Amino acid sequence: MKNMLAFLVLFCAHNLVAQLPAVQENFIRIVGLAEKEVKSEGLELTMTMSEIPPNEYQKVMYKSLASVKEEFNQFLASKNIPKANLKQDVLSGMKTRYKKQANETYTLKVKNEAEALEFTKTEINGLAITKAEHVYPEYDPKLDEEMAIAAIEDARRKASNIAKAIGRKLGKILNIEDQTGSDTKRNYGKSAAASKYVMHRISVTFELQ
């Protein structure tokens, strides 16, 4: 009987607590966003230069890898593109027992898409353009700071509107948490597009008055 009475007391107390209104919080947490368009600095072409083996049936004469490279260098000179822009993938030139012909892989940076198209029109036997990607500038700490501040201001604007709507005032900042991915902040990377958007995401906790 005593156990039953104790149970009824606890049950009634639980229901009473459940019906009480929730305590109103004195802070608001808002996520602020900032977006910036980053334009490419040019394109990077990936290409392979290969020797041409002879083929009597197709009447193809042998062409050495050195000849292909020399012909390509002449093409660069005709377009006033510095040879220093051409970078070799050193590992691609290593000989292995599986390689049937000599070939080397290079990357070349060009100014724009129009210049890149000139390379696709070349008729150099032994040259193949395998990839074209836009290249973006290196990570800029100043831009990172500017976007972080802009994201905080965006959070402040949102929080201020909400506070006003519920009859409260916005107080001081209690906490700031940068939720931007490290890859976004440190590496703009490469892309098929001529521009990309970098976004910062900052969670800000404000005091409510």
Query: Each residue of 3-47: pLDDT tens digit?
Result: 444 443 344 444 433 333 333 479 999 999 999 888 888 899 999
Q: What is the DSSP string of the chain?
A: -HHHHHHHHHHHHHHHHHHSPPPPPSEEEEEEEEEEEEE--EEEEEEEEE-B--BTTTTB--B-HHHHHHHHHHHHHHTT--GGGEEEEGGGG---TT-SS-EEEEEEEESSHHHHHHHHT---TTEEEEEEEEE-PPP-HHHHHHHHHHHHHHHHHHHHHHHHHTT--EEEEEEEEE---HHHHH---EESSSEEEEEEEEEEEEEE-
Count of beta carbons in the 10 Å neighbourhood of residue 27: 12
Q: How far apart are the first and last CA of the chain?
A: 51
State the Cα–Cα distance between residues 195 and 190, nearest whole angstrom: 10
The answer to whether the pTM exceeds 0.75 is: no
Domains of the chain: 23-38+139-208 (3.30.110.170), 42-135 (3.30.70)
Region 167-191 average pLDDT: 80
State the Cα–Cα distance between residues 81 and 84, nearest whole angstrom: 8
Query: Each residue of 58-90: pLDDT tens digit?
Result: 888 988 999 999 999 999 998 888 888 889 887
Dihedral (CA of 89, 93, 95, 100) sign: positive
More confident residue, 186 or 108: 108
Query: Each residue of 103-156: pLDDT tens digit?
Result: 899 999 988 888 888 888 888 999 999 999 998 888 788 888 999 999 999 999
